[in-house]
Structure 1
Amino acid sequence: MQLYNTLSAIERAALIEEAGKERLTISFYTYAHIGNTTIFRNHLFIHWNEMDVLGRIYVAHEGINAQLSVPAENFNVFKAHLDSISFLENVRLNIAIEQDNLSFLKLKVKVRNKIVADGLNDHTFDVTNKGIHVDAEKFNELIEDPDTVLVDMRNHYESEIGHFKNAITPDVDTFRDSLDIIEKDLADHKKDKKLVMYCTGGIRCEKASAYYKHKGFEQVYQLEGGIIEYTRQVEQKKLENKFRGKNFVFDHRRGERISEDVIANCHQCGEPCDDHVNCANEACHLLFIQCKSCAEKMNNCCSDACKEVHELPYEEQKALRKGKVVSNKIFKKGRSEVLKFKK
């Protein structure tokens, strides 16, 4: 019984290109009590592998967080399988605004301690006691209210390329870093202000809204479906779009354009740019913003040192990496000292 990938990303990409069929990039999450996470993980892999589903899925005792690429022709079968699972029946599916057949190239279903790493160890905290969900129209009304505090629950490299106007954008590397910082900064407004939060697809706000209610905030709201669903509703209902720039996404696209505003800059030359790339040096792989001019000049690398390594013969690069742990810079997205114009 196959429970793991047998094809490399390169082999899978070739098969997708050869097939020439449309694929849909989808994300969803739900908090639920899952008993045997390993059995559930294997169940998903077996069925989704048969449907040619690809993506990154985290399963934990607290629920599931999934980002997927599904063949369009298999969507109804995939949806029927979700509906056959009690806690996934009619789960909201966020379908990407911009589609890319190569958004995911492997099926990875992993068992984790939590579906969103939050660093919380408070057993009295009930993640199901969440805040009020609001749609795009209500969200637009709320964020114009002077008694509202709007908070972006994403990380610095996400909000750097796009965010809602007047939002507080914490300068953090991880979701867990933002929870206590926001509580401390807003400690004097637990009763008199409306705390309104948003994130990419809703999963971080779901947990954050419950956490802040647990911490005594009385008026807690979250954008239903996150930026992805907001954009869809704005287009369908002809609402004013209050999001500026790009929405960062966690697949090979790295971003979806929501408005024509470019609010970030190239980390190397400072020119307006909001295209995230990974350093071409496999020993670095740093995520940063790079314009086309700098990409050509630097051979898709973040620094002269990485450029020198990347231009070596492949076997020499492998020899240099042998026995070395991958640099921590991969986790310090956009924070490297080699980037002159980083945030």
Structure 2
Amino acid sequence: MESADAIIVGAGPAGLACAACMRQRGLDVLILEKAGAVASVWRRHYDRLHLHTDRGHSGLPGMAMPRSWPRYPSRAQVVDYLESYAAQFDLQPVFHCAVHTVRRDGYAWRVETTRGEFTAPVVVIATGWADFPHRPRWPGMDAYQGLLVHSSDYRNPAACAGKRVLVVGFGNSGGEIALDLAQAGVDVTLAVRGPVQILPRELLGIPILTWAIAQAHLPARVADFINAPAIRLAIGPVRRLGLTIARKGPRRMIEEDRRIPLLDVGTLARIRDGAIKVRGGIERFTRDGVVFAQSPAEPFDAVILATGFRPDLRPLLPEAHGVFDDHGMPLVTGRTTSEPGLFFCGLIASPTGQLREIGIEARRIAGLVAACQR
């Protein structure tokens, strides 16, 4: 049974950042990754994806993203960056090593995997949530004859050429996939069930993330109240587009509901010019389309479920107590949990940028672990 000072589950941004920060403090770290390369989730994202947070706030600890890159790096550039980051800090994960369970074993943790067992006094869960796609069910779905996929399976518009496509959901994936399809000339409709929040990617020429960081010390209600007039001016009226702005502001939505508002990169403009149609929520499926709750049935050749992800980490840690909410998500990330030596990194949505928050959490975890090792 191989042992180390700390075991990190996952070789994405959170796992690599934690490993680098711990290595810098002289800790022996073992990274376990079920895929065959680092950044496996980023490799699977749709082709047109770019970071929604700016380059300057998206680098991991100890290595900035290249200044020659655009303000919002592409998916491929993020993969290149994470590969370079692993090389820079000599991080060599154990690949093709899927973790089944993590259990307490005396004062240590025993990690059971497809490649045997590993043990360490510290375990960091840095799996992210992209391996847990949420696929809601509607009446009639089993009878639907068209293409039905989750957004995690979408790559580019090629498979949808000449088809009539419905994208379900108005988060960042839904909005950007609909935009991708519209720009390729695909007949696309968005199903939007309820009130939404929309943010411009930049406000007054400054990345919206910069505003969020500057206001991080303010209570969510106060920040939302201050920002509301400028945001309304930036995005323009949307009611005639079939959209309703939620009463709860974007900062509160993130902190209280863990929902990320749409960061608009062009979707609203294509809704306004008619290239993207908007409908309400789905009531049921038919053999060749869907029936909407407040509008007639329409035929669709393909339906893409941009309905997000819902991780449940309880099966991974079946004996852990007091660390999960009722849905199996960690109560805290980047901090000490109720289980000694157990940490989570990057598993709660952040209003100030996920990659930035991962860096903050990784440094904090490394400091806490190093202090316990003395």
Q: For this structure pair, what is the TM-score category when the shorter chain's length is used for normalisation?
A: under 0.3
TM-score, normalised relative to structure 1:
0.24
TM-score, normalised relative to structure 2:
0.23
